[in-house]
Amino acid sequence: MNRVKVAVIGPGNIGIDLMFKITRLSSVLELVAMVGIDDASDGLARARRLGIPTTARGVEGLIELDGFDDIDIVFDATSAAAHRSNAARLAAYGKRLVDLTPAAIGPFVVPAVNLEQRRHADNVNLVTCGGQATIPIIAAISRTVPTPYAEIVASIASRSAGPGTRANIDEFTETTARAIEEVGGAARGKAIIVLNPAEPPLIMRDTVLALVEAADEAALDRMRRSVEAMVADVAAYVPGYRLKQQVQIVPVPDDQPITTLTGGIAATHQVSVFLEVEGAAYYLPAYAGNLDIMTSAALRVGEGMAVAAQRAEVAR
């Protein structure tokens, strides 16, 4: 079966890494366009060396490229504001969009949690790097025990946070918190991002804290097993994704004031999960796990959408 043709908008670090993942790893997708706004950019230069058609005229240049009509999926690795503009411009052409920015125009997708339900959406949003790392854990917890509150802290190397990441800090916290609830299943969610200036740069670390209501030890055991299974599911497409230590569970003391977090809902235990995400280093350094998990998730989602489209074509 022919590979599905795709384009990448945004030849920065994320776009370049995604380009290498598509060209080296995918037997389903064929990258036929790299789109930017600076003809001298490293991303466009690398694409040209790989024989991939390029344009430095943004989405307008993409529309004018030979072969544009054959492109089925467009990955957008720009910024939240740019994606809103790009999505509006491409809406008339029937392209399916995979949004790596926090714009959140379309439904959230975290591959290990809900890709199957979102394969046919026209514009899917990958939340944020912190969301991709932590929401699977929250979903694993909430599918076994009620979870009135969950918060995440994503700590990334300052050197791996480019202009796009820094410009989208507000969108990061708002989008991730919303996805914690909508995809993760927590009743209330909160997200924090830390840009760690340590040298040498540290590998991405993520902390999940959840307040849950568990009836007995058996329910807690099911939750532990659910988290461990989810870590394996994510590691299947993000090899550097792992637990740093066993899941930590402690009872909530009777006098601990948690109602401001849970909105008055009861909680019996506090669950803490500590994660590490090491990058695969196809293009980005190993410490840039925050970027690697986004491009790995994008590849997984794009391939899932492509396979669904191919099956639908065969069925017709």
What was the pLDDT predicted at 114? 97
Positive/negative CA dihedral, 38, 175, 120, 299: positive
Exactly one of 100, 129, 208, 277 is catalytic; name it: 129
User: Does the structure show a pLDDT above 70 at 55?
Assistant: yes
How many CB atoms lie under 10 A from the CB of residue 177?
A: 21
Count of H-run helices and E-run strands, the chain: 11, 12
DSSP state of 247: P
* Mean pLDDT score of the chain: 94
User: Does the structure show a pLDDT above 80 at 1?
Assistant: no
Catalytic residue status for 129: yes
pLDDT, tens digit, 9 for 90 and up, residues 218-259: 999 999 999 999 999 999 999 999 999 999 999 998 878 888
Measured CA to CA, the distance from residue 187 to residue 150 in angstroms comes to 8
Domain 129-286 sits in CATH at 3.30.360.10
Q: What is the architecture, at CATH level 2, of domain 4-126+293-315? A: 3-Layer(aba) Sandwich (3.40)
Positive/negative CA dihedral, 283, 288, 292, 295: negative
Span 166-189, mean pLDDT? 93
Q: For the whole model, what pTM was predicted?
A: 0.94
Measured CA to CA, the distance from residue 192 to residue 200 in angstroms comes to 22
pLDDT, tens digit, 9 for 90 and up, residues 254-292: 878 888 888 888 899 999 999 999 999 889 999 999 999
R_g of the chain, CA atoms, integer Å:
20
In the chain, where the domains are located = 4-126+293-315, 129-286
User: Does the structure show a pLDDT above 90 at 309?
Assistant: no
